[in-house]
Amino acid sequence: MRSTIRALAVLASAASLVAPSIAQTWSNCNPTSRSDCPPNSALGRTVNIDLSSASDSFTAQGNPTYGKDGVSFTVAKSGDSPQLISKWYIMFGKVEISLKAAPGAGIVSSFVLQSDTLDEIDWEWLGADANEVQSNYFGKGQTTTYNRGAFHKDPGNQSGYKKYTIEWTPNQIVWQIDGVTVRTLEPENANGQYPQSPMNVRIGAWSGGDSANSPGTIQWSRGPTDYTKGPFSMKVRSLMVQDYSTGTQYVYGDQTGTWRSIKSVGGTIFSGGNKPVANSPSITAVASGQPLPFTPQQTDTLVRASVYPWVPGTSSQAPQPTFSNYPGLPVGWSVSDSGKVVPPSSAPMSQAASFTPSPAALPSASPGASKPSVIVKFDDKGFSTLVTVYPGTTPAPSVDSLQNNANGPAAPVAAKSAGSKLFDGIYLQVISGILAFFFNQVW
């Protein structure tokens, strides 16, 4: 996943759940922006790898160690991020890993498939919770929607080895824990960002709770990390990888990055016809590690929202841009020089569209009214909607009612008296993500 620093963000699915974790992603040569990238070495077969000793299938970074319990990825001090990166790629396939996640607040264990075009399929474990795991995906490094990440119950992931599976075909991605499907994704549900280019395997651990990280990254990883309670070790016993394509190399036929443009040297792309898994469970919670809306253009070299620090030495020093506005920012809101979103109570408000809510929805305008609250609603697929409720209002509307009103004014504002600075109404922003940028900081 090659990630370290996630840049500024404004809109996230739920301010109370989604941390502004920050990351960088790089690609030595991104075939969607260059036509001279070298081909990817193809696995082209099935391998079973015992990781009690070093394997020539992987390049090691950060000093992983080997023993009878498998390979250990140990974080003992600031800056530690041991990892293994496969030397070969698969073009659709199945990967099973026998893994025990690392404990420790702020410690992140990761098992990832990633391509040179920045397609990505993830499993991630936060050391602060031994009973859950997160799944995620990205397409071409884009972060235009923010409902990708999901939580899954995973009790005992730090106390014993469990089997985690990613099965990836042109028709579906399947995430499994000990053979039980916990999530599926089909191309038609991926908003045009279905991972579909050759990917290698990446395994490792790092400290999201390190004091050198941004506050958002520390919060997302449930840090801070206390190194005096370490060291913290993620362990992997073995790995099974089955490439659903054959050949010796995978070559990009053009710069689209679509799977049908990929050519195999001496083989066939996806010769199988795997039947999709039926009756997959609904997602019940949005993961706090889901991406945030910052997508600069130079994704082939630096900066894309994700969470693992797969970053070569100097790339972490990439300058961060300065924003003066954000997509979807409500009318009258502004951005300070430091990048903080400022509400109209402390910044001049331009004339907004007139809007008068029903009497039942109007808040009390008493001077002693308390601060507004934020309620997160989820539909049956786990997609979140953020609702801002002011003192005196009726209960927050349902997701369906919010969606039905999505074609209304982008930032409705209730009528207010000349001397009042209290917002009367509800700002609803239903776009790629839902309203929020450090909402608790704004207030």
Q: Give the pLDDT confidence score for residue 412 in this predicted structure.
A: 39
Percent of the chain with pLDDT over 90: 47
Q: Give the pLDDT confidence score for residue 143 in this predicted structure.
A: 58
Question: CA dist 62 to 15, 37, 203, 258, 384, Å?
Answer: 34, 27, 12, 33, 37
Residue 59 bridge partners (DSSP) = 85
Exposure letters 267-286 (e unless 16+ CB within 10 A, then b): bebbeeebeeeeebeebebb
Residue 56: CB atoms within 10 A of its CB come to 7
Instruction: Average the pLDDT over 158-162 and give the result.
Output: 98
- Which residue has better confidence, 52 or 313? 52
Contact (Cβ atoms closer than 8 angstroms) between residue 423 and residue 443: no
* Catalytic residue selected from 124, 167, 186, 188: 124
Question: CA dist 213 to 80, 109, 208, Å?
Answer: 13, 17, 7
Q: Give the pLDDT confidence score for residue 306 in this predicted structure.
A: 36
CA pair distance 42, 89, nearest whole angstrom: 5
DSSP helix/strand/coil, 402? helix
Q: Domain limits of the chain?
A: 40-317, 323-443
Name the pLDDT band for 68 (thresholds 50, 70, 90): very high
Instruction: Average the pLDDT over 102-113 and give the result.
Output: 97
Instruction: Average the pLDDT over 252-263 and give the result.
Output: 91
Q: Which helix (H) or strand (E) holds 216?
A: helix 215-220
Q: Give the pLDDT confidence score for residue 35 in this predicted structure.
A: 87
- Which residue has better confidence, 55 or 319? 55
Instruction: Average the pLDDT over 128-157 and give the result.
Output: 85
Q: Is the pLDDT of residue 336 over 80?
A: no
CATH topology classification for 40-317? Jelly Rolls (2.60.120)
Name the pLDDT band for 322 (thresholds 50, 70, 90): very low
Name the pLDDT band for 142 (thresholds 50, 70, 90): low
* Catalytic residue selected from 96, 120, 167, 188: 120
Instruction: Average the pLDDT over 239-254 and give the result.
Output: 96
Q: Give the pLDDT confidence score for residue 271 in this predicted structure.
A: 76
Name the pLDDT band for 411 (thresholds 50, 70, 90): very low
Q: Which helix (H) or strand (E) holds 403?
A: helix 399-404
Exposure letters 359-383 (e unless 16+ CB within 10 A, then b): eebbbeeeeeeeebebebbbeeebb
Name the pLDDT band for 344 (thresholds 50, 70, 90): low
Note the pLDDT tens digit of each residue in 168-203. Answer: 999 999 999 999 999 999 999 988 889 999 999 999
188 is catalytic: no
Q: Give the pLDDT confidence score for residue 163 in this predicted structure.
A: 98
132 is catalytic: no
